[in-house]
Amino acid sequence: MCLIFTCGEHTFRKQVEGYEGITCQCHNCGNYAGHVIKSNPWFTFCFVPVLPLSFKGYHDVVCNVCGFAQPLENRPDVMNMRGGGNNIPMHNQGPPQGWGGGPPQPHGQQPMQYK
């Protein structure tokens, strides 16, 4: 008689309370597809979760595009967004070049005029 048993690991995931609906930029691929997820890994026996491998779980920022996961503690920009706050850091640098601003002119020269 031959019995085959399978052992493995399964991770249960859910969104973290206070971070629902928040989308942030992935530091790996650059897409705005990162979400804050709580992961709880379990040891499985015959595909049945038997023993938790972590009692508290892990809070990560996970990208839906590339699958990159980064601990939430390493992302202060995301931690500032907790509770729906839109504390996205904006840089007041003016419009990028090519958006009507034109290239910077050297001092003492007038811009070219077409007639």
Residue 4 has pLDDT above 90, yes or no: no
Per-residue pLDDT at 98 exceeds 70: no
Answer whether residue 87 shows pLDDT above 70: no
DSSP one-letter string for the chain = ------EEEEEEEEEPTT-TT--B--TTT--S-EEEEEEEEEEEETTEEEEES-SS-EEEEEETTT--EEEGGG-HHHHTTGGG----------SPTTSSS-SPPPTT-PPP---
Sorted by sequence, the CB contacts under 8 Å of residue 7 that are 6+ apart come out as 43, 44, 45
d(C-alpha 38, C-alpha 14), whole Å? 5
107/59: higher pLDDT: 59
Q: Please state, in angstroms and rounded to a whole number, the distance separating the CA atoms of residues 102 and 109.
A: 14
pLDDT of residue 96: 52
Q: How far apart are CA 91 and CA 94, in angstroms?
A: 8
- In tens, the pLDDT along 37-82 reads 999 999 999 989 999 998 889 999 999 999 999 999 999 988 888 8
